[in-house]
């Protein structure tokens, strides 16, 4: 039985707790947060306000990190240097270079760090990936990702770090749409270049963008388009669409549709948890369980920090393009930086 701890008891930590408690191979032994009032939420579990005390007294096998973005890399490094595995909430860093530093530290220590890109485990995504791998529909031509959500001003004022660039690393692109961007590059392959525009159209007094639009060129001539916003009135379903030479598939409302001459046909559907926010996605349990099983079987069959780097590059290219007004080539950006 794996001994598991959670560091950071914000909103997303509860879905991690649910997954841990439903696991047959893990036990939640401790939680940690700098706010002592959070103990009220976990009365039956040992509570700590200092990470060092938790690690020393509980000696967990796995630590789930659910902290503000700027703490992800330093705390992950702290934990893996104690020989403890980490399951890390997105993003893996504030930017590509911070994430790359973590990847190098993982490699140096031969550590285990799983990244919470849970939507890769969705049934709809798995089936879509199979369609792309097969030769039945020809080459991939285009991919589109749309995220139209709502975040009121209170979302930022209740947790001010969310609106600070130095602490969040961005707004909608890193906090809401990163899962969709991860799936876009997971399906389409290597990024070549990006032209993007980031803006704050709500007028909230925040440093980060609430809206982003980007055109992404992937390898093999695949055309990508992405749009995300927190300025809508509701959290609409994410839409992910791929066009192939002989087919078109769309994921929306947790269903995968194939567009044919007869219309749209649903070919796969995700199971949604009624215990958590629907826009979190349905597959936290699968992602966490896959990481646990990999630890127990000593394999690398989980989403690694290295796997997460392409989405971090995409975000950096989007920010740089918006800042300069230019299309940014990935190779040139990495070389110049």
> What contacts 287, CB < 8 A, 6 or more positions away?
114, 116, 117, 118, 120, 121, 302, 303
From 287, 304, 303, select the one nearest 22 (Cα to Cα): 287
* Distance in angstroms (rounded) separating the CA atoms of residues 7 and 228: 29
Domains of the chain: total: 2
Question: What is the H or E stretch that residue 196 is in?
Answer: strand 191-199
Cβ neighbours, 10 Å, residue 262: 7
150 and 228 share one domain? yes
Range of 24's domain? 2-115
For residue 325, what is the DSSP state?
A: T
Of 61, 92, 115, the position where a domain reaches its end is 115
* Distance in angstroms (rounded) separating the CA atoms of residues 70 and 68: 6
143 and 226 share one domain? yes
Q: Give, in order, the Cα–Cα distances in Å from 278 to each of 65, 92, 137, 272.
A: 21, 22, 31, 7
243 and 175 share one domain? yes
Is residue 295 one of the residues assigned to a domain? no
pLDDT bracket for residue 277 (50, 70, 90): low
What's the pTM?
A: 0.95
When the pLDDT of each residue in the chain is averaged and rounded to a whole number, the result is 96
**pLDDT at residue 274, rounded to an integer:** 56
Is residue 249 one of the residues assigned to a domain? yes
CB 194 within 8 A of CB 334: no
From 318, 316, 95, 96, select the one nearest 198 (Cα to Cα): 318
Model confidence pLDDT, tens digit, residues 305-337: 999 999 999 999 999 999 999 999 999 999 887
Query: Would the pLDDT of 159 be above 80?
Result: yes
Task: Please confirm whether the linkage preceding 295 is cis (ω < 30° from 0).
Answer: no
């Amino acid at each position: 039985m794996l001994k598991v701890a959670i560091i950071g008891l914000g909103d997303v930590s509860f879905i991690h707790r649910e997954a841990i408690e439903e696991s047959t191979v893990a036990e939640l032994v401790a939680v940690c947060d700098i706010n002592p009032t959070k103990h009220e939420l976990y009365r039956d579990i040992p509570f700590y306000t200092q990470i060092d005390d938790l690690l020393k007294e509980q000696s967990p096998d796995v630590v789930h990190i659910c902290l503000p973005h700027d703490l992800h890399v330093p705390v992950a490094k702290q934990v893996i240097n104690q020989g403890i595995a980490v399951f890390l909430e997105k993003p893996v860093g504030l930017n590509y270079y911070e994430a790359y530093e973590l990847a190098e530290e993982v490699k140096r220590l031969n550590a285990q760090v799983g990244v919470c890109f849970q939507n890769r485990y969705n049934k709809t995504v798995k089936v879509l990936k199979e369609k792309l791998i097969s030769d039945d529909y020809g080459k991939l031509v285009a991919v589109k990702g749309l995220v139209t959500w709502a975040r009121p001003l209170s979302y930022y004022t209740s947790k001010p770090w969310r609106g600070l660039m130095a602490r969040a690393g961005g707004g909608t692109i890193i906090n809401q749409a990163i899962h969709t961007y991860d799936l876009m590059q997971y399906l389409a392959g290597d990024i070549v270049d990006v032209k993007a525009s980031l803006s704050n159209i709500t007028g909230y007094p925040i440093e980060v963008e609430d809206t982003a639009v980007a055109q992404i060129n992937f390898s093999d001539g695949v055309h990508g388009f992405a749009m995300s916003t927190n300025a809508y009135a509701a959290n609409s379903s994410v839409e992910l669409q791929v066009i192939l030479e002989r087919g078109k598939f769309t994921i929306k409302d947790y269903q995968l549709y194939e567009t044919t001459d007869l219309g749209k046909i649903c070919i796969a559907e995700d199971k949604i948890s009624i215990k958590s926010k629907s826009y979190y996605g349905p597959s936290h349990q699968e992602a966490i369980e896959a990481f646990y099983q990999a630890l127990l079987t000593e394999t690398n069959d989980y989403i690694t920090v290295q796997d997460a780097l392409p989405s971090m590059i995409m975000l950096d290219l989007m920010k740089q393009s918006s800042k300069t007004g230019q299309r940014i080539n990935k190779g040139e950006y990495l070389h110049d930086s």
